[in-house]
Amino acid sequence: MNLDTFLIWTVCLSCVSIFLRATPSPSYRGWTLVSGGILAIVALLVYFVPEWAAIVGGGLWGILVLVPLIGFAQVNRLINQQQYAKASRISAYLRWLHPADGWLEHPPILRALERAWQGHREEAWQYLQHYNAETKPIGRHAIAIFYAMDARWQDLQDWIEESIPQRVLKQELNLLLYYLRSLGETGQINELLHRIQQYERILDKGDRSNSLHLVRMFAFAFCGQVDEVVRLFKRALSSYDRAYQDFWCLTALMAAGQERTARQKLIKLAQENNGLLESAISWRLAHPPPFAARILNNASQTFLFQMRDTWGQDIRYGRVFSLKPQKARITYSLIGINLIFFALEIYLGGSENLEILYSLGALIPEAAWDGEWWRFILANFLHFGYIHLIANMFALYLFGPFVELNLGIWRYLCVYGISGIGTMVGFAFWVERFGDPDTILVGASAAIMGAIGATAAILLRGWRLDRSRMALKRLRLILLIILSQTAFDFVIPQVSFFAHTSGLVLGFGVGWAVSYSNSH
């Protein structure tokens, strides 16, 4: 497999995923047009001018998909940090890439928020009205921020309930988050829990898990569940800065009945903070949350208990793969071993030199059956070219930590070793009977597919035993990945369908067995 083929597949899979997720929502029509357009262009180029397909498709994907995704993630981060001027400057460049999504209005509305942050509230409000902010998603988000700046939570709640239709509230996540928080800030704890229960499935759609965790944190804080708030910030919401975490932990302490202690620490936090939490702390000191244990009704207490159980399952099964480094030493050690072997290939003469691969232990069935049994092991750490190595190590980086953290070190090594070595042995048997005994096989693909198979086993058991919606949702995603890989195997002749399928089946079987023993 060459770089062009790898790039075309990456672009197509990414655009198909975006197209399927964006099409049902009218507010994402720009993403539908962009992803669909790139797919159509790549398909035409592959058919008529194949030598241009990778460079044109990759270029369009980079400019119209990758740059906007990274850029607007940065814009949202800056908005959350109340750095509206920087957010406006970045939006001024990005808006031309997706004009159909309403991004053209982002910079002026963000400039209005910057004026409000500087204290020019009346001028900023008139600016928002001038741009008919209430008719645009970014404008409605800006109005919500405007109210939150001065901790006008009751005004925010009234505005949303009187002016925002339910269908809009369900579509615009930022608005929904502010509304739910306003219920807690105004002491309506039972109503807050009722609304979370009402909107839980909406918050649980797609890639909104972080928002769902944030809403749960609001609920736990206003209900005085200090330990749950601490756990959420330690695991699911660890990216938030320390001052923000301390603010909500102290809010939970207040709601738990320890107002005097929390008040002293909030005053100290206000003195140490750079102003980002000034209005929130002032509001909290002036309007402390009620003692939750006295006002929670039976329905709220039941839902609170269910929410504690559910979020633990979401954490366990939700992070099937992650780009963020995790505490997975064995996975990273395996990646290191593969890199060492690849460096050795390069040092000795090249990673695509068959003689070098043979000397380092590539699997040639005839040689393995003649007594060179170590080839069944070493072949799992050799790779044919940079693309082969990068694709496999990236997949191991994504999927390995989940299996390692769920099964433990030794069970994980069993999955990895049996999938890889077992596939090599099975391949040697297959080739001896039906193929060319001089066929060469290298790569960690079988072991990595074993990790994916084990992931499916863990999720299936989680759905069956824990009835976890998150486990079922992630299982569907894994099945989609497996189907995509199967299609890839059939299209690319250099890829071993046998090795991938064997590794997947072995990984699922071993993963199912060891996850069963782990659960008992």
Q: Give the catalytic positions in this structure.
A: 445, 500
- Could you count the other beta carbons within 10 Å of the beta carbon of residue 428? 23
State the Cα–Cα distance between residues 69 and 75, nearest whole angstrom.
Answer: 10
Give strand pairing partners of 363: 441
State the Cα–Cα distance between residues 434 and 504, nearest whole angstrom.
Answer: 21
State the Cα–Cα distance between residues 494 and 490, nearest whole angstrom.
Answer: 10
Instruction: Using CB atoms within 10 Å of the CB of residue 336, give its burial: 0 to 12 exposed, 13 to 18 middle, 19+ buried.
Output: exposed
φ/ψ region of 460 (left if φ > 0, alpha if ψ in -120 to 50, else beta) reads alpha
Identify whether the C-beta of residue 374 lies closer than 8 Å to the C-beta of residue 362: no
- The DSSP letter of residue 297 is -
State the Cα–Cα distance between residues 202 and 199, nearest whole angstrom.
Answer: 5
State the Cα–Cα distance between residues 267 and 264, nearest whole angstrom.
Answer: 5
State the Cα–Cα distance between residues 392 and 385, nearest whole angstrom.
Answer: 11
What value, to the nearest 5°, has the Cα angle with vertex 295 and ends 307 and 248?
Answer: 55
